[in-house]
Structure 1
Amino acid sequence: MAQVCESLPTEQVTLAADAGAARRARRFLDDHWCVEHAALLRPQAELIVSELVTNAVLHGKPPVRLALDCEGAEGVTISVSDGDPGTPEMRRASPGAAHGRGLQLVDVLSDEWGVRTRPGGKTVWSRLLV
């Protein structure tokens, strides 16, 4: 069982599902990232948050929620929830395509990731290990 960080409890925010959501999510990450346990994971986390929030805005439904769970010396879990229960699919983007690489990036950068569906929505999560 993952331990809970005592210096930074679980933090979450509901984001407006608009073009500025990823920027606001990165700002939230800046304000709530656990530098005591996960400082070195911050660059990967920023890209994962950007991709998951952008996917939720473009392909999901409101509300869009971002949660950060520091697990102390074990790592951190990033979760993005939205109101669409449809499971995201990893795509193969053509070299010139402007979209379609988000989940591929999440897959490469995460130690683990997955999707939990529920009535009225889903949560896509990514775990980064220290």
Structure 2
Amino acid sequence: MIGVSDSTGTLASAPGFAEWTFPAEAGAVRTARTLVRDTLHEWGMSALTDVTVLLVSELVTNSLRHAGAPIGVRMSAPRDGALLVEVSDPVSEPPRERSAHPEDEGGRGLQLVALASRRWGTRRGESGKTVWFELGLPGREAGEDT
């Protein structure tokens, strides 16, 4: 996904699937939030918008701070009752959860992901890493076909 393009348009789109690559610029976070929000609305998943936008914002911000290279975002709503969201960057080192002190301005992003998602994790790719999370779809149980 990374390095395919540094445009902010949809690279691939199908019902229940979207993918974008953003340049490592400050506006990437805002653009990612907008595209995620619009896509979820289009898919009829507005109930997941706030939490998804928050978590994508945190992960894209982390990639922006630590990777300084193109950032990929992929969303898919598979048949197992979950929205899958992946944020990729070209740095292969996995992110570290921190214990932020009350006065710290950062260090809580992965804690938010862990607390708000059904499942989450990281995986290394050929040229970097992907941090992913799943959110349960309202009204659907895991494993229930749609």
Greater share of helix residues, 1 or 2? 1
TM-score bracket, normalised by the shorter chain, equals 0.7 to 0.9
Question: Quick check: 1:58 aligned with 2:62?
Answer: no
TM-score (ref. length: structure 1)? 0.87
Question: Quick check: 1:9 aligned with 2:5?
Answer: no
Out of 120, 124, 127, the position equivalent to 2:127 is 120
**C-alpha separation in 1, matches of 2:128 and 2:104:** 28
Tell me the matched-pair count.
124
What 5-or-longer segments of structure 2 have no aligned partner?
Answer: 1-13, 138-146
What 5-or-longer segments of structure 1 have no aligned partner?
Answer: 1-6
**C-alpha separation in 2, matches of 1:69 and 1:35:** 13
- Kindly indicate whether structure 1 or structure 2 has the higher relative contact order, using CA contacts under 8 Å at least 6 residues apart: 1
Counterpart of 1:22?
Answer: 29
- 1:71 match: secondary structure: coil
**Counterpart amino acid of 2:39?**
H
Counterpart of 2:94?
Answer: 87
| RMSD of aligned alpha carbons | 1.8
Counterpart of 1:4?
Answer: none
Q: What percent identity do the matched residue pairs reach?
A: 35
